[in-house]
Amino acid sequence: MTDPIPEPTRSAWQGLPEQMAGRLVQLRQLVLEVARENPAIGPLEETVKWGEPAFLTAASGSGTTVRLHRHKKSPDTYALYVHCQTDLVERYRQLYGEELTFDGNRAVLFDSKEEPPVEAVKHCIAMALTYHLQKRS
């Protein structure tokens, strides 16, 4: 089942090529699924930051914000963005350097023409949405 997409998110993705928009919707579903599967994360607040759909753990404070949007450097690439002052992308690189592509210390990149590696992506999302819990332990 696909969660209904709120208007701010729909507007942020308006005008993107169909394949790109479809991949972003798929990535959004993974974010929501990860949050539902982990009670420590709690409900997410979905909003738009810097013109990009963003997911905040406002209720629990368990993690850092994740954003989803087309990558500005390539028309066929989309990204899962995390806060650049975390060590998340470095940790993703250590775990999934052979499977995923990265942009500096801020994003995991995906080709809209290819299926993403779902389990690796879900783990990366979970790490972001529980980032503050991990830092406390």
Distance of CA 83 to the CA centre of its chain: 11
Reported as a single tens digit per residue, the pLDDT across 45-91 is 999 999 999 999 999 999 999 999 999 888 899 999 999 999 999 99
Contact 80, 34 (CB under 8 A): no
- Residues β-bridged to residue 54: 47, 67
In this prediction the pTM is 0.95
User: Residues 6 or more apart from 45 whose CB is under 8 A from it?
Assistant: 55, 56, 57, 58, 59
The pairing of strands 45-49 and 101-103 is unpaired
